[in-house]
Each structure stands twice: as structure tokens, then as C-alpha cells.
């Protein structure tokens, strides 16, 4: 084991991890239920680490844009929480779901209140509330990601958004069901358009590691302004730890030991509060929708460096 001192560079660790991943057989399968993602090569791999001052280290395909998918739910949550505070938690819970991310099961016996903001139903509620407050939730999110990453070229992938819309019956059902309980304000087609655009944003590991830096800086944005209070930043990190990797959050906490959020595009972000942020991408997924190589790489990172929240 290599235990990292405060002055130790991340680059040699990333290169060691990339070599180990390259020799690892079995990388899972891309998300074939979203046709625009199905053709991704599961052996692609990139990883980046961003320090609090914006210094970024990377390896492999760390500057290759990919479909961020559910990773964006973290940023939408932060943007809405900054605007409405604890009122948000009256409309979405903070508990692990124990069910697939697109499940309808819990909504009926919990009166249309999603279990947490990272399953699809919860993310729809958060997007809906941000839409009500901004008039363009997806546009607000994109502007934030561009500012925090320092990359003005970030944008929506229209093909991915169209692919998700064409295969979005389950999300439509979730939205209509919650609207019947009064937990959705906007018209469902408007909400779904915002949600699918949000999930279609393309970004690289470098972009995401930088954009998530405010969570490692306890709510402070890249320009030094405060987005979240100390308490709110702690809340977002806590929900990421317990709910950020679908119904495998316990396994992720056990192996990696960091707040994290995955997406079915193969990306994962992870936070080391007060130290750095990480982003990893490899399109091959396990049966729960998490990147096989991505989880393995983060596991190795915390093992090699001794950096975790535990």
C-alpha cells in the first residue's frame, strides 16, 4: 500500500491504477436500453483528480466527453437546495431506496414522495422544483457546469436526449403518478424535456472533477462565492454516500469509502471533503448500472492513498 502524504502528487497513483485496469478482464456492458449509449466501447477508461485549487491530474480518456446521465442529479440537487433550503426535503426523502432507480413500487405506498433525490422519481421532483424557480432547469444546470469546469463548450447531446425521450415511458409514468399526488408543479411534457436534456449533457472526467469541487470545498464555488452552506454541502455529500450508486450504495461505501454519484453513461464522481474530487469513466456497467472499471478504479485509489471519509 502507498499511503499518500499531503504533498504527494496524484499522477503516479492514477497511472498505476490505469495499468491495473488495463489488465483487468470483464468490463461489463454499456447501457443498451438507451440506444445512443449502446455502441460505447466498454474498454474505454479515463480518470481525473482535481485538487481544491483547480489543479487537475488525469490518465487515459480523461479529456474525452461522455454522456453524464445521472451524475447531473448531484448538481441539480445543489442548485435547488441553494434556492429553497430545507423545504425541498418535504417533497423528496433522503433514504436509500433498495429498489432499481426507475422503480414505481415505493411511490404508491409513500404517497408520491420519492425515497431520495437520485432515483429517477426523486430527480424528476428536484428538476421540477428547479424549473419552477428558474424557468429553465437544464439551462441553469449547463451554465453552472460550464462556469465550475471552466469549459464553455459543454453542451447537450441532442441525439441522446431524443433517444431517452423515445424510450422514456417509465419516466413519464413516474412523473404523472407524482403529479397525481400534487408533488409535480409543471406540466409533465415540459418536465420530461428538461430532465432528458439535463441527462444528455456531455462532459469529460476533467470537467466533472472540477465542477464537483464545490462539494470538496464545503459549498464554495470555483470563483470563491458560496453556493451551499456548510450544512447543505454536508447534506449533499451524505446523500451521495448513502444513495448515489443506485441500489449498490452499501457496496460502494464498503469498497470505496467516499460520497459518490454514478451515471449509466459509465461515469462516477466521488468527493474527498477538504481534499479533492475524482471523476472516472468507463462505459461497461454491472447489473445495477454502475461502471465496473470505474468502481474498481476508485476502490484502488482509496486503498493505495488511504484517502477516504472513514
Q: From the candidates 49, 56, 74, 264, give the one annotated as an active-site residue.
A: 264
Given a contact cutoff of 8 angstroms between Cβ atoms, the answer to whether 230 and 218 are in contact is yes
Asked if residues 69 and 264 have their Cβ atoms less than 8 Å apart, the reply is yes
181 catalytically annotated: no
Catalytic residue selected from 13, 59, 67, 70: 70
Calpha distance 23→16 (Å, rounded): 11
Note if 264 is an active site residue. yes
Residue 290: count other Cβ atoms within 10 Å of its Cβ.
24
Secondary structure element (H or E) that encloses residue 257, with its range: none
Are the C-beta atoms of 112 and 178 separated by less than 8 Å? yes
Residue 163 falls in the annotated catalytic set? no
51 strand-pairing partners = 276
Q: State how far the Cα of 76 lies from the Cα of 86, in Å rounded to an integer.
A: 15
Locate 39 and state its grid cell. 455502441
Select which of 149, 236, 246, 272 is catalytic: 246
| Distance set, CA 232 to CA 227, 237, 261 (Å) | 9, 9, 17
Q: Known catalytic residue: 73?
A: yes
Residues sharing a CB contact under 8 Å with residue 268, sequence separation 6 or more, in sequence order: 71, 245, 260, 261, 262, 279, 280, 281, 290, 291, 294, 295, 298
Extract the C-alpha cell encoding 181: 399526488
How far is Cα 182 from Cα 164, in angstroms, rounded to an integer? Answer: 25
Task: Choose, from 57, 73, 97, 200, the residue flagged as catalytic.
Answer: 73
Is 70 part of the annotated catalytic residue set?
yes
Dihedral angle, C-alpha 299, 243, 235, 142, nearest 10 °: 90
Grid coordinates representing 210 are 472540477
CA–CA dist 34, 168 (Å, integer)? 9
Q: Which residues are catalytic?
A: 70, 73, 195, 246, 264
Amino acid at each position: 500500500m502507498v499511503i499518500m502524504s499531503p504533498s504527494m502528487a496524484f499522477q503516479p497513483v492514477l497511472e498505476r491504477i490505469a495499468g491495473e485496469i488495463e489488465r483487468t478482464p470483464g468490463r461489463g456492458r454499456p447501457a443498451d436500453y438507451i440506444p445512443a449509449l449502446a455502441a460505447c466501447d466498454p474498454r474505454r477508461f479515463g480518470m481525473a483528480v482535481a485538487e481544491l485549487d483547480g489543479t487537475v491530474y488525469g490518465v487515459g480518456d480523461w479529456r474525452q466527453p461522455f454522456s453524464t446521465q445521472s451524475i447531473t442529479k448531484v448538481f441539480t440537487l445543489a442548485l435547488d437546495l441553494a434556492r429553497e433550503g430545507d423545504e425541498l426535503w418535504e417533497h423528496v426523502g433522503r433514504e436509500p431506496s433498495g429498489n432499481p432507480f426507475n422503480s414505481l413500487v415505493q411511490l404508491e405506498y409513500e404517497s408520491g414522495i420519492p425515497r431520495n433525490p437520485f432515483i429517477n422519481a426523486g430527480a424528476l421532483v428536484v428538476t421540477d422544483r428547479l424549473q419552477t424557480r428558474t424557468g429553465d432547469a437544464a439551462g441553469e444546470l449547463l451554465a453552472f457546469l460550464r462556469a465550475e469546469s471552466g469549459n464553455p463548450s459543454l453542451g447537450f447531446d441532442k441525439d441522446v436526449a431524443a433517444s431517452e425521450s423515445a424510450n422514456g415511458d417509465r419516466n413519464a409514468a413516474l412523473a404523472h403518478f407524482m403529479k397525481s399526488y400534487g408533488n409535480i408543479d409543471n406540466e409533465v411534457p415540459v418536465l420530461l424535456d428538461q430532465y432528458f436534456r439535463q441527462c444528455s449533457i456531455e462532459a469529460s472526467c476533467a470537467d466533472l472533477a472540477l465542477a464537483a469541487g464545490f462539494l470538496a470545498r464545503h459549498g464554495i464555488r470555483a470563483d470563491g462565492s458560496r453556493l451551499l452552506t456548510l450544512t447543505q454541502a454536508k447534506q449533499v455529500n451524505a446523500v451521495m454516500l448513502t444513495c448515489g450508486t443506485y441500489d449498490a450504495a452499501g457496496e460502494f461505501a464498503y469498497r470505496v469509502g467516499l460520497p459518490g454519484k454514478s451515471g449509466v453513461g459509465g461515469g462516477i464522481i466521488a468527493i474527498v471533503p477538504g481534499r479533492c474530487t475524482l471523476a472516472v469513466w468507463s462505459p461497461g456497467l454491472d447489473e445495477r448500472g454502475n461502471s465496473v472499471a470505474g468502481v474498481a478504479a476508485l476502490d484502488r485509489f482509496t486503498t493505495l492513498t488511504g484517502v477516504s471519509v472513514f
